[in-house]
A and B are shown apart, each in its own frame.
Chain A
């Protein structure tokens, strides 16, 4: 019987020394497997006298239970140990660069245009895009700028023929829309415009956004109210606008609209040349002739229009210094507008 006692000690000693779950399994089989020592004890029962068999059987069973518990505990420990080792070996340098799909970006003009559209769309403006090649009528005549009008000299025009030209202003869109649609009108007309002007601060092609509201009882106060809303949303909550007299053939009265300086907030800085104000757009009450030209009764309806340069807004908003940057398409510049 001592030999049987020793089996437990022997198994304990061997199992403790196992270094892997494989080795532990092999030891387990050596004792508990089909040809293992414990199984061999049971097979040797026949040689034991019948009266001793129950006691012997019980003893062997105890041994087996002990060993099974022993191996179960050791296996559990071994599994934990091996997992810890495996995880330790799988440590990575979390500071290594990410692997990802690089995204591109929309052009800052598209971004700014979309932002402007969002502001005005929320106020009920629809978006109307007219042609970039226009005829004299829509670009000038219908906008109260007949052939001998000095205002034609205000903008240097690219001509294709006597009649066709590259539009100099998105205001041309006003007429095309009003010919189709009767008031109430709230319209935005964004797009490319062209002027034969090319120097450090002018580009022969740039973008404008024209806005037009025609309805009953529209006033100059409404114009400023809307522009204040625009300035607050586009620039800063504290932004203010200032109107001052100007001249455009298609509006009367006409105003230049200044916004409180985006850099200093109105205190005066180098951006606003110390004035606290930045010229941002032109606007005015729609000239009666323009309404008449579009078949809208100026005694029934009034309206206002405003027009701004999208480049100018983008330059103010992002602090871009050179108008050329917009058409050079340097990827380093474009990458700045990722989001």
Chain B
């Protein structure tokens, strides 16, 4: 909300600087986002009177003027402007002055123009940063000619209305009443403890025969509608003071009637509309929802086809305005208008918002209604508008008023106690102080005993209960009075992470310990990402939760797999010259039982891991095995396929019989599509499944008191026999064999085509309860049994 200091001063005697007021507003909850001094870039520009105009001796287009600048002396100024004349009063930028020029600031210095000294420059309205509403003629393409009688040598800024401060105030959503100059003035008056002057609402009325009936068919959407008939309208320009005030807030002057509606909107925060009565068919206003398919053309000449949820203002035949948003073209104020029907209403904020959004039609009025208007102000605003009509002589208010009000208007009351307020705040605000603060904010206090009742001012719909009063008290009293304490009366509670949360952190730390950096991705991506993964149409991943209003298609579906995000991370890194890297992300995927959603989708944690540049499949497998080790999981890896992975280097990861994830090398065609030259290895695991099997705590069992024995074993097998099969066979052969670790794979002609030698180091461990160590003979026995089993089951020959 923008509020000019000069306008605020109409209601409050402000005797502190704009900066000091900014501070005070801030500590009361009104942050001034910007404090603008309008004339800050126009300096040392004074009024001068042109005494003499002569042709420049050496330039046809230049005129040399002798200018009387009052106390600043007589100056010689050369100008190329053609609209100057002897006797004209003009703004003169003297030596050292600044003016506005093409969006920047221009410095003026004494200099020579074609050999003739020029001690300054005449200014156009544009160079002063003003338009016609600030000063007539300001938009003329030439020098601004001032009215006669302006004092010579005077600072130009007060003359053209730019010696003013404008506060741009961030008003919180609970204070729609402060979306108005008068609302801000109320706060200022309370802050400064000064009286608030009332605005004029008096006018004389003339009898009329005219009666324009108002029927509200949708009272919940339009709780109040006040209309008033004005005759004898004389459309003309508004007075300068009004035009300037509108201009200060960025509103162009149209004519006196329209300007009055805008002025009241700014001053009191009540949107108003003026209909040309002669275009209201049937002398009737009906406030109703549109009939589906009904049409209206608004005064900006846009046509809208309406739906049944759009609230309309209609006359006896059809729509004449989009309620609270914009009037219709036909009934707008025109040069021929002689009778006006003013509207000041309260429309439900969400109704205005929905219609405004649905039609894409916004206005100052709709923006204001969306924030909320109280039910009392329409009547007050109407009187204010009629006062202005009367004062400006632009029409004759009549006695005819229509007022449709859904609920009886009664100010509401709140019961509070000093003790409750103080106990919420935790400090003791003196009773007299509480009363004074509330009274300054126009709360009426009755029976000031331990408990008291206040009548809430009509414009404060936000105040519902005594905590709101506590807030009013403390924001005025000052938050610096709060004395920090540390939960002096609270119970002791036990805090910290749950065991699941701790596990998650441990999981992440495990991967970080393996050299992987944690990544963080958006929870949504593009549906095209599923195409990149070559996922078939029926793939479950494609059944993703979709946003209704995404920022764009790229961010429109909720993740069902983390892999596309991870691939994007790899691509971004490679493009930035990070040739190698390791990343992981632990985050939710969103799995819908049913689409469209009937219930909250399942949010399931997945982990995605990637490695590129340095390292290969088995390095990535190392990370997964590190997880297995940290949480005592036993993964098995079986060959599998994924449409986006290399068919020869893809493993499905299992925990027991359950598939919990996959890992593999990115398919070369996908890599090519992403312009990735080096191999990328990816994995994604269902963290939720893993975490169910996490070992809880450390499962200590005593170790054998006898040493372990290691034996190496090399066997020749067919190529198709896997390491996992051999390992499993070795471990199954004998209980004492605790580990079988592959340490060499060897192929050559002597071993034979299609064969390989695989060497394992087997660790034998005596039984925990054993009373003697493993003898060499016992181990020999184990070894023979293993060799026998390997030969029998896998055709392995001892090498």
Contacts of B511 in A (CB 8 A): 104
Q: Are B479 and A114 in contact (CB under 8 A)?
A: no
Knowing A104-B517, A133-B601, A192-B523 touch, does A220 contact B545 (C-beta < 8 A)? no
Contacts of B494 in A (CB 8 A): 124, 126
Q: Are B514 and A104 in contact (CB under 8 A)?
A: yes
Q: Are B490 and A329 in contact (CB under 8 A)?
A: no
Knowing A101-B515, A104-B511, A288-B467 touch, does A331 contact B349 (C-beta < 8 A)? no
Interface-facing stretch out of A56-64, A88-96, A250-258, A260-268: A250-258
Determine which residue in B173, B175, B465, B490 has the highest number of CB atoms from chain A within 10 A of its CB, and name it: B490
Among B176, B426, B427, B518, the residue within 8 A (CB) of A110 is B518
Q: Are B176 and A158 in contact (CB under 8 A)?
A: no
- Tell me if A326 is interfacial: C-beta within 8 Å of chain B: yes
Interface-facing stretch out of B578-586, B663-671, B765-773: B578-586
Interface-facing stretch out of A6-14, A41-49, A72-80, A146-154: A146-154
**Interchain Cβ contacts under 8 Å between A and B, 18 examples:** A122-B495, A123-B487, A124-B493, A126-B495, A127-B497, A150-B370, A159-B548, A160-B546, A161-B548, A220-B425, A221-B482, A222-B486, A228-B484, A245-B479, A247-B29, A253-B475, A288-B465, A332-B578
Q: How far is the CB of A241 from chain B (nearest CB, A)?
A: 8
Q: Are A255 and B520 in contact (CB under 8 A)?
A: no
Q: Are A117 and B518 in contact (CB under 8 A)?
A: no
Q: Are B467 and A328 in contact (CB under 8 A)?
A: no
Q: Are A224 and B484 in contact (CB under 8 A)?
A: yes
Q: How far is the CB of A182 from chain B (nearest CB, A)?
A: 12
Knowing A132-B523, A159-B547 touch, does A222 contact B426 (C-beta < 8 A)? yes
Closest residue on chain A to residue B353 by CB atoms:
A153
Q: Are B493 and A106 in contact (CB under 8 A)?
A: no
3 pairs of A and B residues whose beta carbons are closest in the complex: A219-B426, A245-B29, A221-B426
Interface-facing stretch out of B528-536, B550-558, B650-658, B777-785: B550-558
- Tell me if A225 is interfacial: C-beta within 8 Å of chain B: yes
Determine which residue in A153, A154, A288, A330 has the highest number of CB atoms from chain B within 10 A of its CB, and name it: A330
Contacts of B488 in A (CB 8 A): 222
Q: Are A253 and B474 in contact (CB under 8 A)?
A: yes
Q: Are B515 and A329 in contact (CB under 8 A)?
A: no
Q: Are B512 and A153 in contact (CB under 8 A)?
A: no
Interface string of B152-188 (1 = CB under 8 A from A): 0000000000000000000011111000000000000
Closest residue on chain A to residue B372 by CB atoms:
A150
Interface string of B493-521 (1 = CB under 8 A from A): 11111100100010011011111111111
- Tell me if A29 is interfacial: C-beta within 8 Å of chain B: no
A311–B255 CA distance with the chains assembled, in angstroms = 51
Q: Are A218 and B572 in contact (CB under 8 A)?
A: no
Contacts of B491 in A (CB 8 A): 184, 215-216
Q: Are B545 and A125 in contact (CB under 8 A)?
A: no
State which size class the interface on B falls in: 35 or more
Given contacts A106-B518, A252-B471, 8 further A-B contacts (CB under 8 A): A133-B545, A158-B548, A160-B596, A213-B487, A218-B489, A221-B483, A244-B29, A334-B583
A164–B545 CA distance with the chains assembled, in angstroms = 10
Knowing A148-B349, A329-B573 touch, does A133 contact B558 (C-beta < 8 A)? yes
Q: Are A160 and B597 in contact (CB under 8 A)?
A: yes
Q: How far is the CB of A150 from chain B (nearest CB, A)?
A: 4
Q: How far is the CB of A110 from chain B (nearest CB, A)?
A: 6
Interface string of A178-189 (1 = CB under 8 A from B): 000000111000
Name the interface residues of A94-152: CB closer than 8 Å to any CB of B. Answer: 101-107, 109-110, 114, 117, 120-127, 129, 131-135, 147-151
A242–B371 CA distance with the chains assembled, in angstroms = 28
Determine which residue in B479, B495, B511, B601 has the highest number of CB atoms from chain A within 10 A of its CB, and name it: B495
Closest residue on chain A to residue B587 by CB atoms:
A192
- Tell me if B423 is interfacial: C-beta within 8 Å of chain A: yes
- Tell me if A270 is interfacial: C-beta within 8 Å of chain B: no
- Tell me if B410 is interfacial: C-beta within 8 Å of chain A: no
Q: Are B558 and A225 in contact (CB under 8 A)?
A: no
Q: Are A255 and B479 in contact (CB under 8 A)?
A: yes
Closest residue on chain B to residue A339 by CB atoms:
B512
Among B424, B492, B495, B583, the residue within 8 A (CB) of A220 is B424
Q: Are B512 and A222 in contact (CB under 8 A)?
A: no
Q: Are B497 and A121 in contact (CB under 8 A)?
A: yes
- Tell me if B98 is interfacial: C-beta within 8 Å of chain A: no
- Tell me if A201 is interfacial: C-beta within 8 Å of chain B: no
Number of A-B contacts (CB under 8 A): 251
Interface string of A225-250 (1 = CB under 8 A from B): 11011000000000000111111010
Among A117, A123, A151, the residue within 8 A (CB) of B173 is A151
A165–B686 CA distance with the chains assembled, in angstroms = 24
A15–B353 CA distance with the chains assembled, in angstroms = 110
Q: How far is the CB of B309 from chain A (nearest CB, A)?
A: 13
Contacts of B514 in A (CB 8 A): 104
Q: Are B173 and A247 in contact (CB under 8 A)?
A: yes
Q: Are A158 and B550 in contact (CB under 8 A)?
A: yes
Q: Are A104 and B512 in contact (CB under 8 A)?
A: yes
Name the interface residues of B369-397: CB closer than 8 Å to any CB of A. Answer: 370-372
- Tell me if B741 is interfacial: C-beta within 8 Å of chain A: no
Knowing A110-B518, A159-B547, A326-B520 touch, does A220 contact B426 (C-beta < 8 A)? yes
A105–B210 CA distance with the chains assembled, in angstroms = 80
Determine which residue in A107, A121, A123, A329 has the highest number of CB atoms from chain B within 10 A of its CB, and name it: A329
A56–B520 CA distance with the chains assembled, in angstroms = 95
Closest residue on chain B to residue A328 by CB atoms:
B572
Q: Are B495 and A120 in contact (CB under 8 A)?
A: yes
Closest residue on chain B to residue A183 by CB atoms:
B491
- Tell me if B641 is interfacial: C-beta within 8 Å of chain A: no
A164–B547 CA distance with the chains assembled, in angstroms = 10
Determine which residue in A132, A192, A242 has the highest number of CB atoms from chain B within 10 A of its CB, and name it: A132
Q: How far is the CB of A126 from chain B (nearest CB, A)?
A: 5
Q: Are A160 and B545 in contact (CB under 8 A)?
A: yes
A102–B474 CA distance with the chains assembled, in angstroms = 55
Contacts of A208 in B (CB 8 A): none
- Tell me if B590 is interfacial: C-beta within 8 Å of chain A: yes
Q: How far is the CB of A297 from chain B (nearest CB, A)?
A: 14
Among A135, A186, A329, the residue within 8 A (CB) of B583 is A329
Q: Are A124 and B495 in contact (CB under 8 A)?
A: yes
